[in-house]
Amino acid sequence: MANELPAASPSIESPAVVFAAADAEALVRLLGGAPGDLAEVVHSLDAHAIAAAESFEDLLALASMHGIELHRYQLDTARRVLRVLRGRALLADEVGLGKTVEALLTLREYQVRGMVRRALVLVPAPLVRQWIGELASKAQITPRTTDDPMLRESPERFWHGEGVVVASHALARSSRHAPLVQALPWDMVIVDEAHHVKNRTTLSWKLVDGLKSRFLLLLTATPIENDLEELYNLITLLKPGQFATPAVFRQQFVDTKNPTSPKNRERLRALLAEVMVRNTRAQSGLRLPARFVTTATVEPLPEERALYEETLAFFRAHADDAGASLAASTLLLEAGSSPHALASTLDRMISDPAQRRDSFRGALRPLAAAARRVQKTRKAERLVDLVRAHGGRALIFTRYRATLAHVCAALGDAGLAHVAFHGTMSGQEKHEAVGRFRETPCAMVATDVGAEGQNLQFCNVLVNFDLPWNPMLIEQRIGRLHRMGQTEEVTVYNLCAQGTIEERVLDVLDRRLHLFELVVGEMDMVLGNVADERDLEERILALYAAAKTDDDISRGFDAIAQDFTVARGRYDRTRAFDDALFGEDYEA
């Protein structure tokens, strides 16, 4: 603009700024307004600056996003949310296409532009940790969480602070916290698994409805599960009045003979397009290669079986002891991983000066001695065979550092090259380990914590050396390989010893329910439909604590399988319903 201004003339003075008279006139003319005083010029300049800030032609946040390969449809989605939908949108991509990434990119863009300082992320309780990791690894955001001691010391200060807060639906909607969460405005709210707020009679819907927020993103792959009125409830959170009243919505769009089939589809589609983005695999051009999951069951060595039975008996003996039940549960989980994990924890418990109960410590000693005597395991022998069969290249997961050391030793004794990857390694060490794994024919032995946020799709063989009882953790492991960018068929082996709880868990998840056939992300949807809100690990521990006979255990797992079967059926029906209703009409 400076090149277009005429030469300086006698000046017009104001207390704050000095402009040449001709310069002021040129500025007014260039801004398209009638000549006026200096205040009007400054106003016009401010208006143009604001308009430029919200044009979002260029995404400034891209430089601060890490560890992800952004796809065109995700960038288009973020731009549509920012430019057209004004930051209030229902992100309803098909499962596995990255709604989380789209939400993070939108949040980060607003932060970079100074438009968001206080943000709230509401998620189901099992996803809190996952969101914390995604914010940190992908968007370089360190959120405040409800684990912060400040939440207990001063809830008002916690909820009123700046930054990004990650909280579960259940905690935020509680009678103690809901008034505080709703008291002050948020710049942005993100609601993950937003189908949990589809019913306006629930506390979850009322919580979100009562939030004061300029920007709001609702994330769900299944906006409708039962009837069209759920869609009305979600859209009303985003844009009140978009569908007028419930009665008008029903009159215009709901077929009373078939409540799941809308009337006036074109009008409904037009209204939805103003608030919703739904990308599909067909439209995005992204299709995952096939995935094959195999259960590899081994017969444990006699000393392994004896140790496992002794640990199970120890758990049952202390399951009702409030002071010892948590420790006993940990030991039972570790027994399913390896004797080495069990021995390591037992030794720490015995030497812990805080453990003052001599009777409990005395019961630990013989169990620790038995664990130390078991040096070889049949699972490690089978693992070596599997890794060799795949040319020495595989990603091997375990929950425990001691098991990781045991696996690394077994691979080393067999002459198989490998790298370790765990949470206590530095960032540089992790970078070097991933680089070696990518560039050389070797195996990587990783803990769940260590591999969080890592994209390892250059490998296509995964071995679960031990099995988390939480299916979502298993899915997260598989998702490290079976994700966008994977070009090869993925092979997954689940190792387990006969006669263990892990064998029963696999029987339910794999043989009976075929849950491993689901696309990564769909298992979350199935679990969200299970009537019993306890996670699977909690249910199994309660079952073994109460069971008197093997028949009791079998009946307990039958009940779990039935619950999961009902949940799987409900999800399949919902997916079919949403696909039929939305089709491919709402892409970015």
3-state secondary structure 221-258: CCCCCCCCHHHHHHHHHHCCCCCCCHHHHHHHHEECCE
Q: In this structure, is residue 134 part of a structural domain? A: yes
Residues 266 and 117 in one domain: yes
Cα–Cα nearest to 276, from 484, 584, 520, 68 = 584
Cα–Cα nearest to 447, from 405, 410, 495 = 405
User: Tokens 């092979």 belong to which residue?
Assistant: 491
Residues 359 and 386 in one domain: no
Q: In this structure, is residue 588 part of a structural domain? A: no
Range of the domain at 48: 2-53
Residues 205 and 274 in one domain: yes
Residue 249's identity, in one-letter code, is F
> Cα separation of 340 and 132, whole Å?
30
Q: In this structure, is residue 106 part of a structural domain? A: yes
Q: In this structure, is residue 361 part of a structural domain? A: yes
N-term to C-term CA, the chain: 35
Within 8 A by CB and 6+ apart from 207, the residues are 122, 169, 172, 173, 178, 181, 182, 197
Angle at CA of residue 75, ends 214 and 279, nearest 5°: 90
Three-class secondary structure of residue 313 per DSSP: helix
- Per DSSP, 323 falls in state T
Q: What is the pLDDT of residue 11?
A: 34
Q: Which pair of tokens denotes residue 109?
A: 């863009």
Please give the tally of structural domains in the chain.
Answer: 4
Residue 161's identity, in one-letter code, is G
Question: Of 284, 309, 338, which residue sits at a domain end?
Answer: 284
User: CA of 16: how far to CAs of 19, 29, 217, 329, in Å?
Assistant: 10, 22, 42, 71
Residues 111 and 133 in one domain: yes
Residues 217 and 335 in one domain: no
Quick count: other Cβ atoms within 10 Å of Cβ 108? 24
Residues 146 and 251 in one domain: yes
Q: What is the pLDDT of residue 19?
A: 43
Within 8 A by CB and 6+ apart from 413, the residues are none
Q: What is the pLDDT of residue 281?
A: 77
Residues 363 and 475 in one domain: no
Question: Of 373, 402, 424, which residue sits at a domain end?
Answer: 373
Residue 475's identity, in one-letter code, is E
Residues 561 and 430 in one domain: yes
Angle at CA of residue 129, ends 567 and 289, nearest 5°: 60
Residues 138 and 234 in one domain: yes
Residues 6 and 151 in one domain: no
Residue 504's identity, in one-letter code, is R
Could you write out the DSSP letters of every residue in 356-401? --HHHHHHHHHHHHHHHH----HHHHHHHHHHHHTTT--EEEES-H
Three-class secondary structure of residue 107 per DSSP: helix
Q: What is the pLDDT of residue 167?
A: 95
Question: Of 341, 373, 405, which residue sits at a domain end?
Answer: 373
The per-residue pLDDT string of the chain (588 residues; one tens digit each, 9 = 90 and over) reads 333 333 333 333 333 344 444 455 555 565 565 555 676 666 666 655 555 556 677 889 998 898 787 889 999 999 999 999 999 999 998 877 889 999 999 999 999 999 999 999 999 887 788 899 889 989 999 999 988 899 999 999 999 999 999 999 999 999 999 999 999 999 999 999 898 899 999 999 999 999 999 999 999 988 887 788 888 999 999 999 999 899 999 899 888 877 667 888 888 888 888 999 988 877 777 777 888 999 999 999 999 999 999 999 999 988 888 778 888 899 999 999 999 999 999 999 988 877 656 677 788 999 999 999 999 999 999 999 999 999 999 999 999 999 999 999 999 999 999 999 998 888 789 889 999 999 999 999 999 876 665 778 899 999 999 998 888 788 888 888 887 778 899 999 999 999 999 999 999 999 888 888 876 667 777 776 777 767 888 899 999 999 989 999 999 999 999 999 998 888 888 777 777 777 655 665
Cα–Cα nearest to 331, from 307, 354, 306 = 307
Residues 141 and 224 in one domain: yes
Residue 103's identity, in one-letter code, is A
SS (H, E, C) 503-557: HHHHHHHHHHCCHHHCCCCHHHHHHCCCCCCCCHHHHHHHHHHHCCCHHHHHHHH
Q: In this structure, is residue 587 part of a structural domain? A: no
Residues 486 and 578 in one domain: yes
Q: At 426, which CATH number?
A: 3.40.50.300
Q: What is the pLDDT of residue 3?
A: 38
> Cα separation of 121 and 144, whole Å?
10
Determine if residue 52 is left, alpha or beta; phi over 0 gives left, psi from -120 to 50 gives alpha, anything else beta.
alpha
Q: Which pair of tokens denotes residue 103?
A: 């939400």
Q: In this structure, is residue 396 part of a structural domain? A: yes
Cα–Cα nearest to 515, from 564, 473, 579 = 564
